[in-house]
């Protein structure tokens, strides 16, 4: 793919995309929570050919039509998000600082210690400053309370 496409896609991510890190409740996970990273591109329905082109360029993720008339192209997962952010980081402007923070988050070891997991949760909390989500409910404090209640850390 031409390098000019990289700059174009990074610009699209800067303007009509999101880079997110979230703490998700997962009872079957060791610490009761999962950190999820994602990149999502948004476009009005009717531009599916563009979203398909984008997916062909990036090779990951899925496209879905929302009920509100928007189309989302989402890429989820540490490995996938890391690869995409490394590829476009130098071209980002508006989301460069957020991308740098998410690149640190995805460096979490496969089997982190409680301390490492909580440090990553704190970075997830910091990443929220860059996004406008009103639905965000789980923060590091809730993770600490859960870990203490389940004797995984001392209060």
**Which pLDDT value is given to residue 155?**
60
**Which pLDDT value is given to residue 137?**
84
Q: Is 46 a catalytic residue?
A: no
Note whether 103 and 89 are within 8 A (CB).
yes
pLDDT by 10-residue block (mean), the chain, 155 residues:
80 94 94 96 91 95 95 97 97 96 95 95 94 82 94 76
Domain definitions of the chain by residue range: 3-149
Task: State both tokens at 55.
Answer: 């997916």
Catalytic residue among 11, 14, 16, 77: 16
**Which pLDDT value is given to residue 131?**
82
Whole-model pTM above 0.85? yes
Numbers of helices and strands, H then E, in the chain = 6, 4
Cβ within 8 Å of residue 61, ≥6 positions away: 39, 55, 73, 74, 75, 76, 80
Note whether 71 and 45 are within 8 A (CB).
yes
**Which pLDDT value is given to residue 136?**
80
Q: What dotted CATH number matches 3-149?
A: 3.10.28.10
Catalytic residue among 6, 11, 14, 15: 15
Note whether 21 and 107 are within 8 A (CB).
no
Q: What residues pair up with 24 in beta bridges, in sequence order?
A: 34
Q: Is 28 a catalytic residue?
A: no
């Amino acid at each position: 793919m031409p390098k000019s496409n990289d700059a174009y896609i990074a610009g699209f991510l800067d303007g009509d995309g999101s880079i997110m890190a979230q703490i998700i409740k997962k009872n079957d996970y060791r610490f009761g929570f999962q950190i999820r990273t994602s990149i999502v591109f948004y476009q009005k329905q009717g531009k599916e050919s563009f979203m398909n082109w984008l997916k062909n360029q990036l090779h990951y993720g899925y496209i879905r039509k929302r009920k509100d008339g928007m189309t989302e192209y989402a890429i989820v997962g540490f490995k996938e998000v890391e690869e995409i952010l490394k590829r476009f980081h130098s071209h980002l402007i508006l989301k460069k600082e957020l991308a740098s923070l998410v690149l640190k988050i995805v460096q979490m070891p496969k089997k982190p210690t409680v301390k490492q997991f909580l440090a990553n949760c704190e970075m997830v909390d910091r990443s929220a400053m860059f996004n406008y989500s009103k639905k965000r409910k789980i923060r590091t404090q809730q993770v600490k309370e859960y870990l203490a209640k389940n004797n995984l850390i001392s209060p």
